[in-house]
């Protein structure tokens, strides 16, 4: 279960004369209604210019891992219809070329921007940074395209990735603060108003990090030369009768091989069942988790994995207590094992 917090501060945008460019390299289908099953009435070419004339109020949907909405467009040839806005981006009047460079056999990169034949180094080799360009788009409709950068640990898996934006105000380039600590990949969506959402996880993962249910998924928009939070999805922990957490090992100052065991009669047959877990300090998680049910060890590694918490719930399925892992993932007894 997630708690969703929406922060409303979007500026009102008019679409009457705003031009957009098609980003789908294979082209973008035009339909007669805002429905994936509606009739095809045309196709827009890659990088073709169109005008958005109406934002639909229907539910969001996903295409090629991009969340977005239907919008009504008018092409320069007069053709009108509905397209998916996930493959449109605002037309920028001024051209900025963003490029990355890597030295031979080196992991660190350089980022350059060129406008009006003038080249500016935004990230130098001396900064010793590693990154990828996620996209180039005019987020704030000022006629200049911004560049969205995802930084990484230069090939290691120690740390989560973050994002930042470089923008141009007509005179100088401005760098935002880095945000996020993401191990799952950055998502790029559009909201109902065709505003770009940059969705980043803040994950409590890392050496000795036993923080539970502190993860947040934040949707950012670029506004006032900053990455501003528009929406937050926060974890909501389900209460357990009894549980084992990775943080319990810190409290006990235990060695990595020490185990903690919970004894509980899961099916109320008079025989204590056991949940056994060790601790993996490298990632601050439980390790080698086992469930012994009626004196038999269950094959539950795929279902449980290596969470930070395993708990027993009051609720039952097939007369056996349900389990919770992490904050809110519930495992139920199917008659043979937990799924």
Confidence of residue 158 (pLDDT cuts 50, 70, 90): confident
- Rounded to whole angstroms, how far apart are CA atoms 100 and 29? 33
Query: Is pLDDT of 214 > 70?
Result: yes
Query: Is pLDDT of 11 > 70?
Result: no
Among 163, 247, 146, which Cα is nearest to 204's?
A: 247
Task: Enumerate the β-bridge partners of residue 233.
Answer: 4, 217
Chain segment 182-208, per-residue pLDDT in tens? 988 899 998 878 889 999 999 888 778
Chain segment 85-131, per-residue pLDDT in tens? 999 999 999 989 999 998 877 889 999 999 999 999 999 999 999 99
Pull the structure tokens for residue 20.
């957009």
Chain segment 235-277, per-residue pLDDT in tens? 889 999 999 999 998 876 545 458 899 999 999 999 999 999 9
**Average pLDDT of span 154-161:** 83
Task: Enumerate the β-bridge partners of residue 9.
Answer: none
Confidence of residue 17 (pLDDT cuts 50, 70, 90): low
Confidence at residue 32, expressed as pLDDT on a 0 to 100 scale: 93
Confidence of residue 15 (pLDDT cuts 50, 70, 90): very low
Chain segment 285-324, per-residue pLDDT in tens? 999 999 999 999 999 888 898 999 999 999 999 999 999 9
To the nearest whole percent, how much of the chain has pLDDT over 70?
A: 92
Radius of gyration (C-alpha) of the chain in whole angstroms: 25
Phi, psi of 301 (to 5 degrees): -60, -40
Confidence at residue 193, expressed as pLDDT on a 0 to 100 scale: 81
């Amino acid at each position: 279960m997630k708690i969703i917090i929406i922060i409303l501060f979007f500026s009102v945008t008019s679409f009457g004369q705003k031009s957009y460019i098609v980003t789908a390299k294979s082209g973008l289908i035009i339909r007669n209604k805002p429905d994936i099953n509606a009739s095809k009435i045309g196709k827009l070419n890659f990088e073709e210019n169109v005008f958005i004339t109406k934002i639909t109020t229907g539910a969001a949907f996903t295409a090629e891992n991009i969340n977005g909405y239907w919008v009504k467009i008018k092409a320069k040839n007069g053709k009108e219809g509905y397209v998916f806005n996930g493959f449109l981006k605002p037309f920028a009047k001024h051209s900025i070329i963003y490029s990355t460079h890597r030295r031979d056999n080196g992991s660190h990169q350089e980022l350059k921007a060129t406008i009006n034949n003038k080249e500016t180094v935004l990230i130098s080799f001396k900064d010793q940074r590693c990154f990828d360009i996620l996209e180039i788009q005019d987020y704030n409709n000022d006629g200049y395209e911004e560049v969205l950068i995802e930084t990484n640990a230069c090939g290691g898996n120690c740390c989560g990735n973050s994002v930042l934006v470089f923008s141009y105000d007509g005179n100088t380039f401005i760098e935002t603060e880095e945000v996020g600590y993401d191990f799952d990949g950055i998502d790029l969506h559009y909201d109902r108003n065709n505003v770009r959402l940059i969705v980043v996880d803040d994950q409590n993962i890392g050496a000795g990090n036993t923080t539970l249910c502190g993860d947040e998924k934040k949707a950012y928009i670029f506004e006032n030369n900053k990455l501003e939070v528009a929406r937050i999805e926060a974890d909501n922990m389900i209460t357990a009768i009894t549980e084992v957490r990775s943080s319990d090992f810190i409290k006990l100052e235990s060695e990595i091989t020490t185990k903690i065991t919970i004894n509980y009669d899961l099916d109320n047959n008079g025989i204590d069942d056991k949940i056994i877990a060790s601790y993996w300090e490298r990632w601050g998680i439980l390790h080698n988790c086992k469930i012994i049910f009626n004196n038999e060890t269950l094959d539950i590694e795929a279902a449980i994995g290596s969470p930070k918490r395993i708990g027993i719930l009051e609720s039952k399925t097939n007369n056996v207590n349900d389990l919770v892992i992490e904050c809110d993932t519930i495992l139920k007894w199917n008659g043979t094992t937990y799924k």
